[in-house]
Amino acid sequence: MNGSTVALLRDVLRSEATASPFLRDLQRALAEPPHSISPKYFYDDAGSRLFERICELPEYYPTRTETSILATHAADIAREIGTGCDLVEFGAGSCTKVRLLLRDLQPRRFIPIDISGAHLEQAAAALEREHPGLLVLPLAGDYTQVVHLPPPLPGARRVGFFPGSTIGNFTPSEALDFLRSAARLLRGGGLLLGADLVKDPAVLHAAYNDAQGVTAEFNLNLLARANREIGTDFDLDRFWHSAFYNAAERRIEMHLVSRARQQVHVGGRPYLLEEGQALHTENSYKFGVEGLRRLAREAGFTPGPVWTDPDHLFSVHWLHAPD
């Protein structure tokens, strides 16, 4: 390469760096209220690993509860959905939950979509090894953006799987939009949806403020990731993890709170943070069973059976998508 080619390349790389959506969204969040950023930025490789540790915590009941619901009712669920479908999972992570369904559901193909690409490739390869004959087609990407799926398998109904109450990360209007596009995408099939239920706020509070501090580390990883990827200079010791239940909005909110008045640099620009200033990093909405069915109906689904645990902590819904 000659000198001018190198210079050109450098320019391209630099403009790509400033075009980074993470950099742009973080600058926006720091510049003006509402000081908030999408929780999708939690999930780099380290963040995905931290989330898996959260799922094992004694206080974090959702994963364990949903897993037991799926394991207990797998045969019922498969009877409702029918075998031989073309299965798509939104935010598949390490593809742990789908394993509970595969034996009964017998899909013809499985398309896991996840924002954490490296993580997904590994998970998909492991799944294929365990289930010879199952066609696994991983798609690395953001499922909140327009999803371009491969053409449907001829004769196979398209079924969506959206477990974990990830739907709770959306605002009510975003959830409606997501469900509307899912109902279109899954016409003739349907969506198997996991939703966390409204419950004693003390139980919710414990689940997002675990004794080991893993959730705090997960929250702070957003700043650690910014330091690694976009050259920011956050000092993680100068932020608190804050998570609380906002009962009026029926949601857990997570924030990163500045412990002091301080200056940080993002993309070369300085930002002043006041002592106590909060960066809102996540909402995790909780649902009533009937409220969720109403939302699904409004989005164009025909709600079917709902499976819950004996303590009514979590719910799994089969939502039929009419033709």
- Contact residues toward ligand AVJ (CB under 6 A) are 54, 62, 164-166, 168-169, 208, 215, 282, 284
Q: Which is nearer to ligand AVJ, 49 or 320 (CB)?
A: 49
Q: Collapsing DSSP states into helix, strand and coil, what is residue 35?
A: coil
| Residue 232 CB burial class (10 angstroms; 0-12, 13-18, ≥19) | buried
Give the DSSP H/E element, type plus range, for residue 23: helix 21-31
Q: Which is nearer to ligand AVJ, 169 or 258 (CB)?
A: 169
Min separation Cβ 289 and ligand AVJ, Å: 17
Q: How far apart are CA 38 and CA 282, in angstroms?
A: 7
Provide the b/e sequence for 260-284 (b: ≥16 CB within 10 Å): eebebebbeeebebeeebbbbbbbb
Query: Considering only CA atoms, which of 156, 179, 196, 157 is closest in space to residue 303?
Result: 179
Q: Which is nearer to ligand AVJ, 96 or 106 (CB)?
A: 96
Neighbours of 141 (CB within 10 A): 15
Q: How far apart are CA 21 and CA 312, in angstroms?
A: 39
Min separation Cβ 50 and ligand AVJ, Å: 9
Min separation Cβ 168 and ligand AVJ, Å: 5
Alpha carbon separation from 95 to 7, 106, 123, 144 (Å, rounded): 43, 15, 6, 18
Residues 304 and 318: beta-carbon distance below 8 Å? yes
Q: Which is nearer to ligand AVJ, 1 or 211 (CB)?
A: 211
- Pairing mode of beta strands 86-90, 109-114: parallel
Min separation Cβ 133 and ligand AVJ, Å: 30
Min separation Cβ 306 and ligand AVJ, Å: 18
Min separation Cβ 17 and ligand AVJ, Å: 28
Residue nearest to ligand AVJ (CB): 284
Q: How far apart are CA 169 and CA 159, in angstroms?
A: 21
Min separation Cβ 63 and ligand AVJ, Å: 9
